[in-house]
Amino acid sequence: MPLKDRITADMKDAMRARDTQRLSAIRLLLAAIKQREVDERIELDDAAVIAVVDKLVKQRRDSVQAFRGAARDDLADREQAEIEVLNAYLPARLTDAEITAEVRALVAELGAGGPTDMGKVMAAAKARFGARAEMARVSAAVKQVLGSGGAGA
């Protein structure tokens, strides 16, 4: 079943269960998917839907930080609940240790030697990891590996 169909089915289930918080998060997701389809005049595949979900999760995380900083815990909790609903549609994420191990292998493959190769390694890492890892965590791992002398560290 395509991911978009699964999201639509989950929306119907949330409507039947009268789960307003979950329903709201799913409707926002479907609206974002539909907006991107209309803007680009295409039908989104699973990878593109995952990219939309990932973007919405990142926006929600930024909002949570802003709301916590402004002492608006009620709004931060609502955003956090939406993150949990959205995370159900993302593939399993890699751990920091797995990310570091893959980055070391990638640095060795590319023959990257130092911080000046960061862009080259990040471009390859983005293609390799896709939605399996947050790019901020990948970037930190790349900086650590390249800063510590490359693949031999």
Domains of the chain and CATH, by start: 3-87 (1.10.1510.10), 96-152 (1.10.10)
- Tens of pLDDT, residues 65-99: 999 999 999 999 999 999 999 999 998 889 999 99
pLDDT for 149:
58
pLDDT of 151 > 70? The answer is: no
Task: Find out whether 110 and 101 touch, Cβ atoms under 8 Å.
Answer: no
- Tens of pLDDT, residues 10-59: 999 999 999 999 999 999 999 999 999 999 999 999 989 999 999 999 99
pTM, 2 dp:
0.77
Q: How far apart, in whole angstroms, are the C-alpha atoms of residue 119 and residue 41?
A: 31
Q: How far apart, in whole angstroms, are the C-alpha atoms of residue 71 and residue 137?
A: 27
pLDDT for 114:
79
Q: How many CB atoms lie within 10 A of CB 70?
A: 10
3-state secondary structure at position 5: helix
pLDDT for 135:
86
